[in-house]
Amino acid sequence: MNRPAVHYDPQSDILYFLVRDGEEERFVEVAEGVNVELDEEGQLLGVEILNASRFLRATIGPERLAQLARAEA
C-alpha cells in the first residue's frame, strides 16, 4: 500500500490526505469541517480538513502545519 500524501494550503487553511488516485464522484461530511472524497464505487480517495489550524491546534499545532506548507513549496 502506498503511503498517503499530505497537502496543506495555508491560504485556505485546508489539510488534505490523498489516500489514492481516482475520480471524485462525491464527498461526505463526516464531522463538522471534515469531508471524505469517494469514487463512484464508494472507495475512499481522500480526506479534507477545513480550518485545519483550528481543528488540529491541540494535536499538531500551527508550527507543524507551517512545516507541511513549506515542505510542499
Q: Which structural domain range is residue 17 located in?
A: 5-72
pTM for the whole thing? 0.76
Structural domains of the chain, count:
1
Edge-first strand listing for the sheet containing 44-49? 5-9, 14-18, 44-49, 34-38, 26-31
* Residue 42 backbone zone (phi > 0: left; psi -120 to 50: alpha; other: beta): left
CB 56 within 8 A of CB 65: yes
**Residue pLDDT tens, the chain, 73 long:** 466 688 888 899 999 999 999 999 999 999 999 999 999 999 999 999 999 888 777 777 777 777 776 766 5
How would you classify the pairing of strands 26-31 and 14-18?
unpaired
